[in-house]
Structure 1
Amino acid sequence: MARTSASTRRARALRPNSPVGSWRPPAREGISPRKTVLVGRVPADVAYWAASAGDSPFSPGERLPAGRILERPVPAWYHPAVPPEPPIPFHYEVLYADRDLIVVDKPHFLPTTSNGRIVRETVQTRLRVEYGEDEIVPLHRLDRLTSGVVVCSRNPATRGAYQELFARRKVHKEYHALVSSPLERAAGVVDLGMRKERGERQVRVDPAGTRTRTWLEGRGDEVVLRPETGHTHQLRVLLNYLGSPIVGDDTYPVDKGLALYDFSTPLALVATSLWLRDPFTGKRRRFSISRDWRGTLGQL
């Protein structure tokens, strides 16, 4: 069977696939618009634009007059009012960039994407503003308190191929952590069920919960981890369960409460490297942080 060239695969990915009649306003200050469905009177709180044609009486992108009575539901876009936010005084380092990807070393305390409370001070919003590109989207997420490698897509046409790698667990990650007490087991794979209840910050170990799988190796107060699954707080829960909670963890074993702007104690967990096989070239690509991760913990 003849092999498909990288250029052919890329050309196929670049074919437009947006449905006819769709429209979306550009981001504003790096913040994406939101979609809603209006019924009855058009509110006057913010501007609204028709989202799509279909059976709507408005053309895609047409401004909906405030006060207009809508006789049928109309999908619409709007820019939410986003108030100023306290600055987060830590910055990412760009490790790599090409026409498809931007790879950064995310600092501790900076969210990857909006968490509902923080919208402006995120990796996604900052990158969009810095590069002037509305389509920059992280392909995966690190916890706000975790630092390290984050891969972002900047090209919507090729994004799906990279997203599929993450969905199929074809992307490999390595983390390093400092723990409060040495890990008793030397190395091996741990399977653990985990469950997160709505409204609770802590994830619980539950044999009937979602299965997680992690390879780890203890090296004194340092642990190397390679997760094969991606559950919320997976590595933090695992090490706490094994009796070696991560230094600086504000949630395990004791939940100290959410403190978004307390930068005094970084979580000693760093995503040091990530590797994948490129879906277009077939080549193995590895992205790693360039800093001494242990040394930088003491500088925060």
Structure 2
Amino acid sequence: MSDAPLPAREGISPQRVVLRGVVPTDREYWAGAAGDAPYRWGTLLPAGAELDRPQPAWFHPDVPAEAPIPFGYTVLFADEDLVVVDKPPFLPSTSNGRLVRETVQTRLRVEFGEDDIVPLHRLDRLTSGVLVCSRRAATRGAYQRLFQERRVNKLYRARVDGEVTIGGDWQLVVLPLRKRRGERQVTVGDGGVETRTWLRRVGDREVEARPVTGHTHQIRVVLHHLGMPIDGDDTYPVDRGLDLYDFTRELRLRAGAVSFDDPHSGRRRAFHVAAPGWG
């Protein structure tokens, strides 16, 4: 997890703060690591105690109850290092600021009774499919580097709204994408981060995508830019606003497969889900 001296509670990690002046009386705080701190790591700090120097501390955040997201994941694979799930649409992978309990990460931590479970990559809240999670901090770094160094193969399938504008052979699309602070939509334009996406047509209204880079909303923006927005998209071409409990429009984008060479065993790892039944 981290250098936190206390475990997660109900799957939710403790938070770190640096206290100055006095120890607050609003909740319990445990001493964090600091070379010159007067309290030993893991000590419950006395409420109201005066502090003659800054004191790192950890506490359990107050997280209110959340209305349930009525969709569940399916565990596809689990060993001592990884747990892989088929994530449903509408359920966030990790906290998005408004949902903390109703996420894949928190649900998995509660189900397995393990504080260290963390997704190794992102799937948008509306995107379904293969999500690979780390179970152990000791081995997590090697898996994270695979994703950071683009040594993971990902295959997505999308059903688009309208005619497919590409052919049946794989085509590399290179576009600069920009995400402005405070805006949900990602745009294509000069000065953006270069993204690379392989695309091909696989049906009258369906395409497959293999993203090389991992920009926010990358596949959604690229397909919209090419004149074929994804069916059910709440942001492209029109931002309909963020309603976390509107389940009426499913985004027809599914992460169908993730594969990589395991950095510890050297074996090829390949995780798949069934093709979407969109009709």
| TM bracket (short chain) | over 0.9
Q: Which residue of 2 aligns with 1:250?
A: 234
Partner-residue secondary structure (3-state), 2:54: strand
CA distance in 1, matches of 2:267, 2:49: 55
Q: Which residue of 2 aligns with 1:201?
A: 184
CA distance in 2, matches of 1:191, 1:97: 35
Partner-residue secondary structure (3-state), 1:130: helix
Q: Considering only aligned residues, what root-mean-square deviation do their CA atoms show, in Å?
A: 1.2
TM-score by length of 2: 0.96
Map 1:1-300 → 2, pairs under 5 A = 22-186=3-167, 187-219=170-202, 220-289=204-273, 291-295=274-278
CA distance in 2, matches of 1:90, 1:66: 41
CA distance in 2, matches of 1:192, 1:284: 31
Percent identity of the aligned residues? 61
Partner-residue secondary structure (3-state), 1:150: strand
Report deviation, 1:53.
Answer: 3.8
Partner-residue secondary structure (3-state), 1:270: strand
How has the CA–CA distance of structure 1 residues 226 and 31 changed in structure 2, closer, same or farther, with 3 Å as cutoff? Answer: same
CA distance in 2, matches of 1:262, 1:113: 18
Residue pair 1:37, 1:73 contacting (<8 A) in 2 also: yes
CA distance in 2, matches of 1:204, 1:69: 51
Residue pair 2:229, 2:237 contacting (<8 A) in 1 also: yes
Deviation readout 1:161-186 (Å, 9 max, x if unpaired): 11111111101100000000122221
Residue pair 1:192, 1:207 contacting (<8 A) in 2 also: no
Residue pair 2:34, 2:55 contacting (<8 A) in 1 also: no
Task: Write out the 4+ residue segments of structure 1 that deviate beyond 2 Å after TM superposition.
Answer: none
CA distance in 2, matches of 1:74, 1:294: 55
Report deviation, 1:283.
Answer: 1.8
CA distance in 2, matches of 1:256, 1:82: 27
Deviation readout 1:86-106 (Å, 9 max, x if unpaired): 000000000001111000000
How has the CA–CA distance of structure 1 residues 202 and 23 changed in structure 2, closer, same or farther, with 3 Å as cutoff? Answer: closer
Report deviation, 1:245.
Answer: 0.3
Report deviation, 1:23.
Answer: 4.5
Gaps spanning 5+ residues in structure 1: where? 1-17
Tell me how many residue pairs correspond in the alignment: 275
Q: Which amino acid letter does the alignment assign opposite residue 96 of structure 2?
A: N
Deviation readout 1:245-264 (Å, 9 max, x if unpaired): 00000000000000000011
Deviation readout 1:201-221 (Å, 9 max, x if unpaired): 000111320000000002320
